[in-house]
């Protein structure tokens, strides 16, 4: 089993990475591999709403950068974990650009993330963590992913690099999350032959103007 974790912080070894590291160490106890991909320091353009990904339907965005590099690995993974620091009570800008394009391209390519396990982790100095956590979960829910819970919302607190290790409740929450991810993945594997995956209908989009014609 394979988990891919996206580190959306500009700092490769900051508190977001620390939280993802705690998650990875706990998952390893269940023989689950975690690949942590650092994208927070990459030059990533926002979505241009060009619609090319929907025409191609081959999991590639018209903007050829690290989104196209990482997307196939996300599609192949059994679970996807999104990690972001909190800036102005929201998802870090580079991470937001990455998520908009990655998740839209995956959806336009036939719902590549549907049925996967997905989770969000945030690192904050003080406030804004729940708003950022909610923002990350929007991507998971609209993609028909399975979201495990934990003993608290998945957040750690700390400002300077490594400070989050002092947040004992936060790091425990991440460990509990990892155990629930492992449990959910193992349940999916055990039920793979006996419980078929849902048959997803083609997505219907509400168009008020069409109904008025």
- Which phi and psi (to 5°) does residue 194 adopt? -105, -25
Please report, in tens digits, the pLDDT of each residue of the chain (213 residues total): 999 999 999 999 999 999 999 999 999 999 999 999 999 999 999 999 999 999 999 999 999 999 999 999 999 999 999 999 999 999 999 999 999 999 999 999 999 999 999 999 999 999 999 999 999 999 999 999 999 999 999 999 999 999 999 999 999 999 999 999 999 999 999 998 899 888 888 888 887 665 555
Q: Please check whether residue 85 is in contact with residue 14, taking contact to mean a CB–CB distance below 8 angstroms.
A: yes
Give the domain range for residue 175: 2-211
Please give the Cα distance from 91 to 9 (Å, whole number).
10
| Burial call 4-29: b when 16+ CB within 10 Å, e when fewer | bbbbbbbbeebbbbbbbbbbbebbee
pTM above 0.75, yes or no: yes
Distances (CA, A) of 54 to 47, 110, 122, 205: 13, 9, 30, 14
Q: Please check whether residue 5 is in contact with residue 34, taking contact to mean a CB–CB distance below 8 angstroms.
A: yes
Query: For the chain, what is the domain count?
Result: 1
CATH code, 133: 3.40.50.360
DSSP one-letter code for 110 = T
């Amino acid at each position: 089993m394979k988990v891919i974790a996206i580190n959306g912080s500009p700092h490769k070894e900051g508190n977001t990475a620390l939280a993802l590291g705690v998650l990875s160490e706990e998952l390893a106890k269940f023989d689950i591999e975690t690949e942590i991909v650092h994208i927070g320091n990459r030059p990533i353009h926002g979505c241009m709403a060009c619609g090319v990904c929907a025409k191609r339907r081959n999991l590639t965005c018209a903007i050829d950068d690290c989104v196209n590099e990482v997307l196939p690995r996300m599609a192949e993974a059994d679970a996807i974990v999104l990690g972001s620091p909190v800036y102005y009570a929201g998802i870090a800008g580079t991470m937001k650009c990455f998520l908009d394009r990655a998740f839209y391209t995956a959806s336009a390519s036939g719902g590549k993330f549907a049925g996967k396990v997905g989770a969000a982790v945030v690192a904050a100095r003080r406030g804004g963590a729940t708003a950022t956590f909610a923002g990350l979960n929007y991507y998971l829910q609209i993609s028909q992913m399975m979201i495990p819970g934990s003993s608290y919302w998945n957040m750690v607190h700390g400002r300077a690099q490594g400070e989050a290790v002092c947040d004992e409740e936060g790091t425990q929450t991440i460990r509990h999350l990892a155990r629930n991810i492992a449990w959910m993945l193992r349940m999916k594997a055990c039920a793979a032959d006996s419980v078929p995956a849902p048959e997803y209908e083609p997505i219907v989009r509400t168009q008020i103007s069409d109904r008025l014609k």
